[in-house]
């Protein structure tokens, strides 16, 4: 289990560095408040929402690419899905749909609109590259090449860093556009590397793999649709939070600190996100569930304690002010938001454990149900705080995400208990 987890966790940790790295560079360039608001509050959340249906290709390929025929079928499926969503991205980015959909949906401040539009245009290759990367990484995990996933993430970081350093060197005023180009460059580079690594699997262990079932459109959709819906609902929380913050007190400051707050959140939750594929891979092993649970409690609680340390000590100023260069008047809001997200790393481990067990059992519907409950909770909490009009948006959005995580984890636990009881009854 550790041999599977640590390369994936390292990969997620490296990915977790990406958002703080982009924010740190943007905070050192002109017009940082507006440019950071365009990045963290507008075009990056919208890009994530569009590419959401391809996120779970990693779990799908890890579970289903058990023969050359199924691999090729799922590969065609993933590419068609990625290209269709890239078309949607292009239509919004390069037509008046941006002004008709994104601007009123997020209630975007006027100063932020054009930087956000330009950054969103540079994000065009993002979705198809993510689809290729996630699909082929799942194949690498299934056939024991998970260390190559970590190498690919290093390549991605280098590809992100080069445009950022060029933008920093010339002192560009369009740092949101540089951020969009850098993120796209990184994902494209990682996708190319993952595809190249899978060639070895195609010529080696996959040639001898035999599956008892063949994928078709019906079985693929019935398995994948709940997973895709899960990621759609999950990533929809980002633009929903942005829309809510724009309607609360201190909107521009909230948007400006949001990328730094969510960057710390993603970084601290990354090990728990990697745990999902570990559970899928080892749920059927002897003593697998027991070992996975023990690991979940130890590591999850440990990382939550580290986030609490950042909130309670000068490490908070080191992260937000010295490294991320958020506006100084946003530090008190950022510290309170950090306190509110202390439970999230542990909750992520809990959610990944039950999601992995459900995927292993081919029971994917409860996963989307849990995310739907979480998203509804975020919307409800934000509506309450918008109506009150007394709490800064960055604080309200963080609280909404944490409450949603608690309810999502509770629902998954209940649903897994039911699936487990039915499985044991059938076996008996």
- Angstrom distance (rounded) from CA 190 to CA 169: 25
Does 186 score more than 80 pLDDT?
Answer: yes
3-state secondary structure of 275: helix
Q: Residue 427 has what pLDDT?
A: 61
Q: What is the pLDDT of residues 89-131, one digit of tens each?
A: 999 999 999 999 888 888 888 889 999 999 999 999 999 999 9
- Whole-prediction pTM value? 0.74
| pLDDT tens column, 213-231 | 777 888 888 888 877 777 7
Percent of the chain with pLDDT over 90: 40
C-beta separation of 183 from 18 below 8 A:
yes
Residue whose structure tokens are 């930087």: 115
Q: How confident is the model at residue 45 (pLDDT cuts 50, 70, 90)?
A: confident
| Measured distance CA(82)–CA(80) in Å, rounded | 5
Q: Which tens digits make up the pLDDT trace of 324-358?
A: 888 778 899 999 999 999 999 999 999 999 988 88
**Are 292 and 279 contacting, i.e. CB atoms less than 8 angstroms apart?**
yes
Burial class (CB in 10 A: 0-12, 13-18, 19+), 311: buried
């Amino acid at each position: 289990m550790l041999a599977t987890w640590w390369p994936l966790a390292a990969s997620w940790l490296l990915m977790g560095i990406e958002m703080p790295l982009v924010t740190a560079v943007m905070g050192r360039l002109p017009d940082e408040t507006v440019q950071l608001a365009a990045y963290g509050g507008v075009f990056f959340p919208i890009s994530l929402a569009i590419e959401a249906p391809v996120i779970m290709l990693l779990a799908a390929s890890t579970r289903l690419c058990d023969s050359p025929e199924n691999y090729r079928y799922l590969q065609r499926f993933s590419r068609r899905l990625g290209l269709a969503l890239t078309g949607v991205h292009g239509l919004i980015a390069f037509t008046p749909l941006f002004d008709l959909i994104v601007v009123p949906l997020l209630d975007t401040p006027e100063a932020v609109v054009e930087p956000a539009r330009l950054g969103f245009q540079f994000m065009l290759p993002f979705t198809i590259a993510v689809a290729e990367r996630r699909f082929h990484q799942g194949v690498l995990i299934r056939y024991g090449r998970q260390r190559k996933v970590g190498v690919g993430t290093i390549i991605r970081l280098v590809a992100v860093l080069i445009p950022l350093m060029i933008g920093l060197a010339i002192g560009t005023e369009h740092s949101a556009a540089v951020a969009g180009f850098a993120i796209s460059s990184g994902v494209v580079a990682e996708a190319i590397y993952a595809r190249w690594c899978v060639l070895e699997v195609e010529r080696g262990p996959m040639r001898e793999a035999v599956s008892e079932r063949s994928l078709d459109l019906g079985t693929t959709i019935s398995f994948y649709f709940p997973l895709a819906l899960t990621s759609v609902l999950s990533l929809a929380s980002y633009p929903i939070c942005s829309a809510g913050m724009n309607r609360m007190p201190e909107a521009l400051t909230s948007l400006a600190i949001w990328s730094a707050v969510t960057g710390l959140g993603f970084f601290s939750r990354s090990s728990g996100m990697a745990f999902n594929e570990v559970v899928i891979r080892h749920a059927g092993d002897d003593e697998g569930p027991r070992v996975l649970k023990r690991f979940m409690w130890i590591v999850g609680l440990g990382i939550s304690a580290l986030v609490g340390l950042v909130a309670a000590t000068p490490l908070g100023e080191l992260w937000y002010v010295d490294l991320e260069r958020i506006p100084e008047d946003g530090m008190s809001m950022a510290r309170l938001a950090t306190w509110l997200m202390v439970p999230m790393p542990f909750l992520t481990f809990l959610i990944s454990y039950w999601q992995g067990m459900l995927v292993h059992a081919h029971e994917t519907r409860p996963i989307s149900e849990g995310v739907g409950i979480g998203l509804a909770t975020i919307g409800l909490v934000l509506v309450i705080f918008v109506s009150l009009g007394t709490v800064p948006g960055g604080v309200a959005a963080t609280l909404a995400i944490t409450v949603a995580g608690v309810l999502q984890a509770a629902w998954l636990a209940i649903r897994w208990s039911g699936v487990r009881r039915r499985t044991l009854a059938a076996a008996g």
